[in-house]
């Protein structure tokens, strides 16, 4: 069942179009993340869903009801903001009870609901504390409790973990997912962090300059990014190339600065648009000398200009000259900065994409 539908939503701040003609349907119980760089329109889109901002054009439909012109309190939507927006002078209990009291719930029912909600987020026993007596992670959980206490039909979260350190972010990501799954609550989550989006979402809406670039599962977005922008955003390399020959779904391209033609797949490129060779870092084979390893010919010469140890792996940045850069993995930790290397890949793994 569709819980939330955006139909042709546009928002302009003066002449600046922040969100352009967005269509989106979100199923009941789904966790959808709006992902994009700073200024791509994520917050503007979320605020229109919540009723904090009205669209210049288009409709917002929640559970079959047109709520486009309704204020937030009439939409049955719970929102968690980045800065938590807790009432500083109110106890944890009162913060969570606030929305219930506004809805004129009886004292006994408020007590029961606040108790249940604090138990859900693991904060039983913290009722009397003030926000400044809590850690950042605990404050975030109070904000979550406050948003879900009203049993909203949709939960909106705008970069809720932005203020937390990396380790805490990961544990609270799991916590939010657990609560969301338990309550089966339709959730729209905003982040600029691709790892966070991958870890939490059923589907990811990727935005750029007010447009939706892609709506897909995390796996599909990572495996088949639709544009060079999407590819780079999820950590692939996008090297500018010139198409030499193309036959239907595959062809030969020339990487600037290299005389060798390499094979790539993809839809037939349009003549008047630039072409990029897109490849995932784990598909790039790196060797010391030209030759063939594992059936893959290492053809292009490059230099290691960056080496990042991530704990589980080593990520290399390899300069191919003339503006071409590849990212590759070096799980055996064989290479160092400034090493001259040769790179190759399986023809099917390299795609030609256009903006
Ligand atoms: N109140 C405003 N008045 C005018 N322009 C605005 C206003 N709020 C946002 N914008 C502009 O609208 C565009 C989208 O902004 P928005 O805050 O939605 O992006 P975002 O993707 O959420 O960015 P961030 O990740 O930095 O929060 C940007 O170009 C921004 O400068």
**Model pLDDT for residues 87-116, shown as the tens digit of each residue:** 999 999 999 999 999 889 999 999 999 999
39 lines ligand 1 (CB under 6 A): yes
Contact status, residue 40 vs residue 209, Cβ threshold 8 Å: yes
The count of other CB atoms within 10 Å of the CB of residue 310 is 8
**Banded pLDDT at 293 (limits 50, 70, 90):** low
Domain around 72: 2-223
208 lines ligand 1 (CB under 6 A): no
Residue whose CA lies nearest to ligand 1 atom number 5 = 13
- Is there a single domain that holds both residue 183 and residue 36? yes
pLDDT tens string 45-64 = 999 999 999 999 999 999 99
User: How many percent of the chain have pLDDT more than 90?
Assistant: 65
**Beta-bridge partners for 276:** 240, 353
Residue whose CA lies nearest to ligand 1 atom number 3 = 13
- Is there a single domain that holds both residue 345 and residue 283? yes
Answer with the residue of higher pLDDT: 201 or 162: 201
- Is there a single domain that holds both residue 234 and residue 217? no
Rounded CA-CA distance 149/147 in Å is 6
In a 3-state reduction of DSSP, which class is residue 34? strand
- Is there a single domain that holds both residue 193 and residue 96? yes
- Is there a single domain that holds both residue 208 and residue 285? no
Residue 212 has what pLDDT? 96
Which domain CATH number covers 198? 3.40.50.300
**Banded pLDDT at 296 (limits 50, 70, 90):** low
Question: Which H or E run contains 111?
Answer: helix 107-120
Lowest average pLDDT, out of 259-263, 336-340, 349-353, goes to 259-263
Residue 281 has what pLDDT? 93
Tokens representing residue 129 in the block: 């504390």
Answer with the residue of higher pLDDT: 10 or 290: 10
End position of a domain, from candidates 196, 223, 250: 223
Answer with the residue of higher pLDDT: 322 or 210: 210
Say how many domains are in the chain.
2
Buried residues in 7-21 as b, exposed as e (16+ CB within 10 A):
bebbbeeeeebbbbe
Query: 168 pLDDT exceeds 90?
Result: no
Q: How far is the CA of 13 from the centre of ligand 1 (A)?
A: 9
Rounded CA-CA distance 304/317 in Å is 6
Q: How far is the CA of 24 from the centre of ligand 1 (A)?
A: 20
- Is there a single domain that holds both residue 92 and residue 158? yes
Query: 298 pLDDT exceeds 90?
Result: no
Ligand 1: which atom is nearest the Cα of residue 14? 4
Residue 26 has what pLDDT? 97
Backbone phi, psi, residue 200, to 5°: -110, -25
The pairing of beta strand 16-27 with beta strand 275-279: unpaired
Query: 13 pLDDT exceeds 90?
Result: yes
- Is there a single domain that holds both residue 197 and residue 241? no
End position of a domain, from candidates 156, 191, 223: 223
Contact status, residue 177 vs residue 121, Cβ threshold 8 Å: no
> Which of 17, 42, 212, 213 to probe ligand 1 with, by most ligand atoms within 8 A of CB?
42
Residues 6+ apart with CB under 8 A from 127: 91, 92, 93, 114, 118
End position of a domain, from candidates 200, 223, 246: 223
- Is there a single domain that holds both residue 161 and residue 298? no
- Is there a single domain that holds both residue 204 and residue 84? yes
Contact status, residue 236 vs residue 280, Cβ threshold 8 Å: yes
- Is there a single domain that holds both residue 206 and residue 321? no
**Rounded (5°) CA angle 282-283-289:** 105
41 lines ligand 1 (CB under 6 A): yes
Q: How far is the CA of 286 from the centre of ligand 1 (A)?
A: 41
Residue whose CA lies nearest to ligand 1 atom number 11 = 18
Tokens representing residue 61 in the block: 């439909």
Answer with the residue of higher pLDDT: 254 or 216: 216
Which domain CATH number covers 293? 2.40.50.140
Crossing angle of helices 166-183 and 107-120, in 10° steps, is 130
Residue whose CA lies nearest to ligand 1 atom number 2 = 13
Residue 73 has what pLDDT? 85
Ligand 1: which atom is nearest the Cα of residue 192? 25
Residue whose CA lies nearest to ligand 1 atom number 28 = 39
- Is there a single domain that holds both residue 338 and residue 192? no
Whether the ipTM is more than 0.90: the answer is yes
Residue 101 has what pLDDT? 94
Residue 83 has what pLDDT? 73
Residues 306-312 have a mean pLDDT of 91
- Is there a single domain that holds both residue 32 and residue 178? yes
> Which of 34, 37, 41 to probe ligand 1 with, by most ligand atoms within 8 A of CB?
41
């Amino acid at each position: 069942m569709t819980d939330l539908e955006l139909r042709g939503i546009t928002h302009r701040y003066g002449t600046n179009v922040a969100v352009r003609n967005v269509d989106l349907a979100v199923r009941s119980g789904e966790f959808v993340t709006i992902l994009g760089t700073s200024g791509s329109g994520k917050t503007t889109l979320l605020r229109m869903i919540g009723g904090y901002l009205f669209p210049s054009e288009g409709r917002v439909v929640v559970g079959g009801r047109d709520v486009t012109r309704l204020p937030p309190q009439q939409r049955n939507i719970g929102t968690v903001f980045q800065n938590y927006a807790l009432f500083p002078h109110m106890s944890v209990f009162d913060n969570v009870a606030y929305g219930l009291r506004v809805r004129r719930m009886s004292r006994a029912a408020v007590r029961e609901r606040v108790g249940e909600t604090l138990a859900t987020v693991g904060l039983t026993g913290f009722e009397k504390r003030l926000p400044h007596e809590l850690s950042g992670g605990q404050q975030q959980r109070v904000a979550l409790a406050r948003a879900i206490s009203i049993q909203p039909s949709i939960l909106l979260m705008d970069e809720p973990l932005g203020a937390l350190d990396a380790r805490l972010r990961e544990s609270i990501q799991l916590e939010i997912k657990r609560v969301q799954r338990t309550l089966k609550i339709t959730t729209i989550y905003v982040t600029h962090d691709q790892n966070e989006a991958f870890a939490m979402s059923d589907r990811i809406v990727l935005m750029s300059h007010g447009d939706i670039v892609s709506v897909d599962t995390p796996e599909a977005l990572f495996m088949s990014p639709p544009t060079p922008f999407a590819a780079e955003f999820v950590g692939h390399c996008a090297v500018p190339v010139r198409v030499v020959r193309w036959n239907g779904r595959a062809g030969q391209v020339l990487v600037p600065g290299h005389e060798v033609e390499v094979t790539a797949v993809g839809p037939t490129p349009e003549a008047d648009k630039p072409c990029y060779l897109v490849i995932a870092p784990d598909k790039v084979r790196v060797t010391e000398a030209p030759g063939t390893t594992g059936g893959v010919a290492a053809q292009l010469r490059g230099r290691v200009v960056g080496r990042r140890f991530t704990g589980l792996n080593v990520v290399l940045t390899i300069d191919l000259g003339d503006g071409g850069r590849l990212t590759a993995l070096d799980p055996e930790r064989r290479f160092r900065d400034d090493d001259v290397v040769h790179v190759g890949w399986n023809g099917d793994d390299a795609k030609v994409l256009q903006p």
